[in-house]
Amino acid sequence: MKFLIKIGLISGIWLASISSAFALEPVYSDFFGKAIRGYDPVAYFTQSKAVKGDSDFTYRWNEGVWYFSSQANLDKFKAEPSQYAPQYGGYCAWAVSKGYTAKIDPNAWHIYQGKLYLNYSKSVQSTWMEDVSGNVMKADANWPQLLDK
């Protein structure tokens, strides 16, 4: 009986460590740890396009390393990161609306009601755009549960 209890405890600890090892990070980053694949989140708002960040202008925020194309953009982000950071930690907004997460293409983006949304690809973005407000409502409802998994 003691043997079974020990096995049960060991199994429980092992399962807990496995599930925490696969916990969702609050910010999507690539293999190298770059949030939104090293693109400048401020540039989407100020230049209306995806702009690659520069390794001279980085900032660690919300467990991600963010890259910027200029000191001015870095300063804007530092002052108000939640204004410029993409929704859902930079994960694909369409995927979040469906209850899961996926990586993104920094060129598949859209600003809606002053917030940045990224998608897996341009084709996924086309689907997202068919009902942006409805997809945002679904994704907003799903995001807290995805973070808790």
Digits of tens for pLDDT over the chain (149 positions)?
A: 554 444 343 334 333 333 334 567 889 988 888 999 999 999 999 999 999 999 999 999 998 999 999 999 999 999 999 999 999 999 999 999 999 999 999 999 999 999 999 999 999 999 999 999 999 999 999 999 998 87
Whether 14 is in a domain gets the answer no
Asked whether residue 72 falls in the same domain as residue 93, the answer is no
94 residue type, one letter: W
Q: How far apart are CA 40 and CA 74, in angstroms?
A: 9
Q: Provide the residue count of the chain.
A: 149
Whether 8 is in a domain gets the answer no
Asked whether residue 95 falls in the same domain as residue 59, the answer is no
Q: What is the pTM of this model?
A: 0.83
CA nearest neighbour of 140 among 88, 83, 81: 88
Q: How far is CA 79 from CA 88, 89, 97, 99, in A?
A: 20, 18, 29, 31
Whether 77 is in a domain gets the answer yes
Whether 15 is in a domain gets the answer no
Total domains in the chain come to 2
Contacts of 144 (CB under 8 A, 6+ apart): none
